[in-house]
Amino acid sequence: MPTLASSLLQSAADVPSRIAIHLQQAGKDDIAMSYAQLIERGTAYASALMAQGVKKGDIVVIILPHGEALVYAWVGAVLMGAVPSILPPLTEKLAPDRYRRDLAALTEITKPAAIVTYETFASEVNLALAQSPTKIAVVIAELVAHLEFKIENVNFEANLPSEIALLQHSSGSTGLQKGVALAHTAIFNQLRSYAAAIQLSEADVIVSWLPLYHDMGLIAAFITPLMLRVPLVLMSPFDWVRAPQRLFHAITHYGGTLCWLPNFAYNFCAQKIRERDLQGVNLATMRAFVNCSEPTVYSSHQKFAARFGAYGLRDGTLTTCYAMAENVFAVSQSVVGEAPALDESPPDGREARLSNGKPIANVSVKIVDPDGATLPEHTIGEIALQSDCMLTGYFHRPDLTEKAMHGGWYLTGDMGYLKNGEVYITGRKKDIIIVGGKNVYPQDLELLSSEVAGVHPGRVVAFGLMDERAGTEEIVVVAESDIQDEDEQQTVADSVRAHLTRNTDVAVRVVQLVPLGWLVKTSSGKVARTANKEKYLQSDMAA
């Protein structure tokens, strides 16, 4: 069984000049990074970490923006047998004091030996570490970039396949303390099974804008191509948000065949990309766009297909996947080249639901009730799974690990059902709003609200608040909008309320419009429902 380091070293020995990554940065020429270069520059980071006393098995936190340093720092930690964990850098959307508190909490739990970061952020890191009882080295990327080391001059200690390879930290707004520990064995078991499910080969080209601090970006669109020698075109998520057409131009230029996207990105691309920005785009080389990381929505696929069908997008290219960090990545995948199954009569009576495919070969899935009993097909319950690519545990959190397991099965916290052996996702267990005994999924309300003119698509949160008088929850919808006139805001809020009333069987009394940037988002870009509920309750709006 290989390890991350042995796989990289073998590729550098077999195909040293092969380009592993085409790194894209707005306004700059693409950077071609070969396997030999990955080892050469990664060795510099490994040597810098070792000079700070970092040893095999130590945790190395990496806080760097998109760029060469991020890739080389991760490779360096892997080469020396350390356990890398990539965290998001501070951005204008993240409050510095909140970020420092989360980072301090993370270091208290994981006890990293070192943090690799960029020079201008070192002061923030030092503030976060000010109260740390243990010494944590801070390695500055700009200083390492000038170091030169040859791998034959460095004495690395090899990992065992059973040892922890990396930590993936929760992307939740208050969940950075929960690190998912994954062994080399689990990672390669996942890669083999998932590669078979998507018919992956060295002839493929993966194109991605996904951040590497999220499991979809890290595993599907970084580790998978690196370990399996599939070329990767990697752009910044911030460049993509500013100009989403860059993704399609990269696919056209490099002959991209595979791309993973969260559901909101299908709507975002269909709505935001202008016709004049698609000149020269050809999507005919694509084998699969994979909808993953959010509940998949049939109408999102319809909008995407209608918008980009004229640019070579073929039938069967839009596929679905269900994945989570605790299983390394994929749990299920729909068949590449075929449209995912559609359940037009879901058990919750909602609109037609899109299948997330059948479990991949090494994963077993069942649906359970609150007592852990297995439920029949087409019955909604909590999704439980078993596999040979499960997490070793939540790092230094045996309490959370024990809570998540039930009789050898991992309880995902996701709600869904099976039909004809395929997995359907209905929402998160903790997010369900119960109104008059009815289960209401906030994702449905958020999607519908995003369809109303004046609401910023994807910038909506819905949650329940207990109405003591009625003895049930009432629904609150908070939506971002760039409209500033109060009368126009009221018109939009009324339109949202009417649209929800028309398209659901629940009444929504409270619809509140807020300015762009008001909503709290997780590090992976998702709306954080719990954090936004707390923010709403602390605001004047809840009075």
| 108-120 per-position pLDDT tens digit | 889 999 999 999 8
Domain boundary pick from 159, 193, 225: 159
- How would residue 6 be classed by pLDDT, with cut points 50, 70 and 90? very high
CATH code (residue 526)? 3.30.300.30
Q: Is residue 535 part of a domain?
A: yes
CA 23 to CA 7: how far, in whole Å? 21
Q: 529: domain range? A: 432-542
Task: State how far the Cα of 141 lies from the Cα of 70, in Å rounded to an integer.
Answer: 9
Beta strand residue intervals within 11-101, DSSP E: 19-23, 31-34, 59-63, 83-86
495/211 Cα distance (integer angstroms): 35
Each residue's pLDDT tens digit, 13-67: 999 999 999 999 999 999 999 999 999 999 999 999 999 999 999 999 999 999 9
Question: Where do the DSSP E strands lie in 24-161?
Answer: 31-34, 59-63, 83-86, 114-117, 137-140
103 found inside a domain: yes
CB-based contact 303:270 (threshold 8 Å)? yes
Give pairs for 196-199: CB < 8 Å, separation 24+. 196/360, 196/361, 197/330, 197/333, 197/360, 197/361, 198/258, 198/288, 198/290, 198/333, 198/336, 199/287, 199/336
Q: What pLDDT is attached to residue 523?
A: 66
349 domain residue, yes or no: no
Nearest to 358 by CA among 325, 385, 382: 385
Residue 288 belongs to some domain of the structure: no
pLDDT of residue 542: 81
Residue 471 is predicted with a pLDDT of: 63
Question: Per-residue pLDDT averaged across 464-468, rounded?
Answer: 78
Is pLDDT of 104 > 90?
A: no
The reply to whether 318 falls in a domain is: no
Please report whether residue 229 resides in a domain: no
Query: Is 196 inside a domain boundary?
Result: no
pLDDT at 261: 95
Tokens describing residue 418: 């099976």
Radius of gyration of the chain (CA): 23
Residue 172: band (very low, low, confident or very high) from pLDDT cuts 50, 70, 90:
very low
Q: What is the pLDDT of residue 511?
A: 96
Strands laid side by side in the 179-183 sheet: 164-169, 179-183, 393-394
Counting residues of the chain whose pLDDT is more than 90, the rounded percentage is: 72
Q: Tell me: the pLDDT tens digits for 413-459?
A: 999 999 999 999 988 777 778 776 677 889 889 989 999 999 998 89
Stretch 494-504: mean pLDDT, rounded?
88
CA distance 244 to 202: 26
- Which residue, 143, 159, 175, sits at the end of a domain? 159
Q: What is the Cα–Cα distance from 535 to 189, expressed in whole angstroms?
A: 41
Distance, CA of 123 to CA of 90 (rounded, Å): 12
* Mean predicted lDDT score pLDDT of the chain: 91
What was the pLDDT predicted at 296? 87
d(CA 134, CA 308): 54
Tell me the mean pLDDT in the region 315-331: 96
| Higher-scoring residue by pLDDT: 172, 497 | 497
For residue 94, is it within any domain? Answer: yes
Q: How confident is the model at residue 227 (pLDDT cuts 50, 70, 90)?
A: very high
What pLDDT is attached to residue 506? 80
What's the rounded mean pLDDT across residues 250-267?
A: 94
Say what the pLDDT of residue 175 is. Answer: 43
Residue 142 clears pLDDT 50, i.e. is over it: yes
Total of domains in the chain? 2
C-alpha neighbours within 13 Å on the C-beta side of residue 365: 30
CATH number of the domain that 53 lies in?
A: 3.40.50.980
Residue where a domain stops, chosen among 109, 139, 159 = 159
